[in-house]
Amino acid sequence: METSELLQKVRHIEIKARGLSRNIFAGEYHSAFKGRGMAFSEVREYQYGDDLRDIDWNVTARYNRPYVKVFEEERELTVMLLIDVSESQSFGSTSIVKRDMVAQIAATLAFSAIQNNDKIGVIFFTDKIEKFIPPKKGRKHILFIIREILGFTPGSSGTEIDQALRYMTNGIKKRCTAFLISDFIDSHDYKHALRIANRKHDLVAIQVYDALSTRLESVGLMKVHDPESDKDTWIDTSSKKTREQYRTWWTRRQAEMDVAFKQSRVDSVSVSTEDDYVKSLLQLFQQRR
């Protein structure tokens, strides 16, 4: 992508994302995520109706009457974007490829974060960690992130989500809100890493997929290229059995992904490149309120 085209895309995404985050998402984002960052403030005597889980047993034992911990909302959160930059992100059957949709979603989340005085960082990953951008604030930082999403050339082509999750779990010491953005086309098992990451952090999964991935159209003999393995396969799409097998595979894969999210208690949303991602994000935010 030429520099002028890249800058034009970045500017277009910035204008749209800033408008959405200011006019639509600011309040929803705050309600959905801000309250998750709580810092210990003080203790006070137990009052009827207090949550028993907040009792400070050390202080209670010292004064021989119940005391509870009081928490206050942290003024600032750290937001991490875990972004899949594998070769499958370059696929698109419509006017927008998955990578462009990822950039729009990431930009909207980033501008919503800085409006709430949050820092934002990024982990780009394939089947390895490609790049880590430390959390910072500010418009220039976000524009740098958008440019990287659109123009970054990864060193590898595969996908291993568990690598990114483990890297974040081990590297980000303070609890953060993390958005894992991927098409989740991954042959490796990431369920354990997903569960561990969500125990330490507040993890949200956003699947971005192309609608054509969900089905095979009957167009005869077709050569299919896998960008991650760089292999070509010939498929007879006129075969009803082949189309049904593919549909079954897609449905099973989606079900397995949903089960992984539910078992790990990870909130999630799936967004097609044909969808209005604004509605999808609002749905995600509102289900967390």
- Section 103-132 average pLDDT: 90
Residue 125, pLDDT above cutoff 70: yes
Residue 49 is which amino acid?
A: G
Do 99 and 209 form a contact (C-beta atoms < 8 A)? no
Alpha helix segments (H runs only) across the chain = 3-20, 26-33, 57-63, 98-115, 139-151, 161-171, 191-200, 240-263, 277-287
The most confident of the ranges 11-25, 103-117, 158-172 is 158-172
pLDDT per residue as tens digits for the range 38-79: 555 678 888 888 878 788 898 899 899 999 887 655 557 899
Residue 256: what pLDDT? 93
DSSP at 269: E
Residue 6, pLDDT above cutoff 80: no
* Cα–Cα distance, 236 to 248 (Å, whole number): 16
Residue 94: what pLDDT? 60
Report domain extents, the chain.
Answer: 3-33+75-287, 38-73
Residue 190, pLDDT above cutoff 80: yes
Element containing residue 79 per DSSP (H, E) = strand 78-84
Tell me how crowded residue 68 is: count the other CB atoms within 10 A of its CB: 20
Residue 16: what pLDDT? 79
User: Which fold, 3-33+75-287?
Assistant: Rossmann fold (3.40.50)
Q: Are strands 78-84 and 119-125 parallel, antiparallel or unpaired?
A: parallel
Q: What are the structure tokens assigned to 18, written together?
A: 């800033």
Phi, psi of 244 (to 5 degrees): -70, -40
Residue 84: what pLDDT? 93
* Cα–Cα distance, 264 to 47 (Å, whole number): 33
Q: What are the structure tokens assigned to 10, written together?
A: 């970045």
* Cα–Cα distance, 72 to 47 (Å, whole number): 17
- Section 24-35 average pLDDT: 68
Residue 91: what pLDDT? 58
pLDDT per residue as tens digits for the range 134-178: 999 988 998 898 888 888 888 888 899 999 999 999 999 888 999
Q: Which of 173, 163, 170, 118 is CA-nearest to residue 142?
A: 118
Q: How high is the mean pLDDT of the chain?
A: 84
Model pTM score: 0.78
Do 160 and 125 form a contact (C-beta atoms < 8 A)? yes
- Region class of 235: left (phi > 0), else alpha (psi between -120 and 50), else beta: beta
- Residue 261 makes CB contacts below 8 A (sequence gap 6+) with 194, 205, 267, 268
